[in-house]
Amino acid sequence: MTTALIGKRLKALRDERGIDQDAVAAMLGVGSRQIVSNIETGERKVKADELIALVEGLDVDLDYFTDPFRLEGEGRFSWRRGNEVPADRLDTYERLAGRWIAAFRELAPRVGRDVPLIRPQLPLDKTSSFEAAAAAGERFAAEYELGEVPSGRLAEVMEERLGILVLMVDARDGISGAACTLPELGVVLINRHEVKGRRHFDLGHELFHLMTWDKMPPERSESAGGKKNHVEKLADVFASAVLMPRPVLQGTDWRSFEQNALVTAINRRATALGVSADALRWRLASTGLLTQKAARDIPGEALRHNGYVDLAEPEVPPLFSRRFIQVIVDAIEKGFVSARRAARLLDTSFEALGELITEHGLPVPDTVR
């Protein structure tokens, strides 16, 4: 429990409920709203009796102020979801995801895995063109050496070089994923049950949001099938260029194929790149490697499921990420969290925790066996 944590959560709750500082000052029995302001900014500690007064006056449990494994008004989310996902279901899942993020934020520094102090920003804003977003995506792929198959290294680069936590999660109820930003951490959540091409595209899309959040913060919820605003379109263009940079595509004379051969070539290359054939079709057109007419003339059904090439891939990635689970394992071994509490934080059983650790290729602590 820290002064800063209590202050942040007090302000978040006060803002949420529309309570002014004078009302909180009256709860605490102090004579000035400046004292409340000092608590919220972390300049003044909260006494034990004052904390109890806040719990009773605001009708919350003590954990609201003291549990470090929660996000309460501290993280900003942007979700990609289907139209059928109601707000209350999204709120519930956000609270669950907040526990995973808070656990990593709390435990990673304790086990010596600090995140970078500076998060790179893209030189883009709401007035930027699609060409500028594509150029930024290609530059990202080159500068971070994503190689001939950028999708294969993107998550690793985001975690290891940018300090962005990437979590593969079970979100079967129409939720594709999300970006979450905190002052000290950026996070991307990806529904691991999506097809591979969609997972990779969502990863690039959410990366864009994390690297442009200050200049163009995204909406809290974006419908995956709805009409997109300019910022979301920029994010799509950036993701496409990261995953399919022009140098990777230039080795093939795409204009020389007749349609059947072109369909086969696009399906095969898309599968090799870990993207959807439809995304590759329009990326080729946007780069001029394929004419707009040739792209439009390809029947959409011919590119469905990359020509059915990748339907034999039944597996999904392990839950969360190796980096995340390594922090949990280290924290258990060093006594910062018990194995049973770790299992509860991950919303899994004690037995399943051991299986998850093994699935990531990590040694299982004795207390989990």
141-181 residue pLDDT tens: 999 999 999 999 999 999 999 999 999 999 867 888 999 99
Q: Could you tell me the pLDDT band of residue 225, with boundaries at 50, 70 and 90?
A: low
Distance from C-alpha of 93 to C-alpha of 110, rounded to nearest angstrom:
27
Query: Taking the CA atoms of the chain, what radius of gyration do you get in angstroms?
Result: 23
Residue 313: pLDDT above 80?
no
Domains of the chain: 3-66 (1.10.260.40), 76-239 (no CATH), 246-308 (no CATH), 322-368 (no CATH)
Distance from C-alpha of 95 to C-alpha of 23, rounded to nearest angstrom:
27
Q: Residue 87: its pLDDT value, please?
A: 77
Q: In what order do the strands lie in the sheet with 185-191?
A: 164-169, 185-191, 175-182, 76-81, 221-223
**Lowest-confidence pick of 26-35, 66-75, 316-325:** 66-75
Q: Could you tell me the pLDDT band of residue 208, with boundaries at 50, 70 and 90?
A: very high
User: Tokens standing for 21?
Assistant: 């500082």
The fraction of the chain above a pLDDT of 90, given in percent, is: 70
pLDDT tens for 267-284 read: 999 999 999 999 999 999
User: Tokens standing for 318?
Assistant: 């392990």
Residue 327: pLDDT above 90?
yes
Residue 224: pLDDT above 70?
no
Residue 80: pLDDT above 90?
no
Q: Residue 102: its pLDDT value, please?
A: 93
Compute CA 78 distance to the chain's CA centroid, rounded to the nearest angstrom: 9
User: DSSP class of residue 71?
Assistant: -
Distance from C-alpha of 272 to C-alpha of 244, rounded to nearest angstrom:
11
Residue type, 325: I
Region label for 366, one of left (φ > 0), alpha (ψ between -120 and 50) or beta (otherwise):
alpha
129-136 long-range contacts, CB within 8 A, separation 24+: 130/233, 130/234, 130/237, 130/286, 133/208, 133/234, 133/235, 133/237, 133/238, 133/241, 134/237, 134/238, 134/240, 134/241, 134/286, 135/241, 136/238, 136/241
Distance from C-alpha of 132 to C-alpha of 42, rounded to nearest angstrom:
41
pLDDT tens for 112-140 read: 988 777 788 999 999 999 999 999 999 99
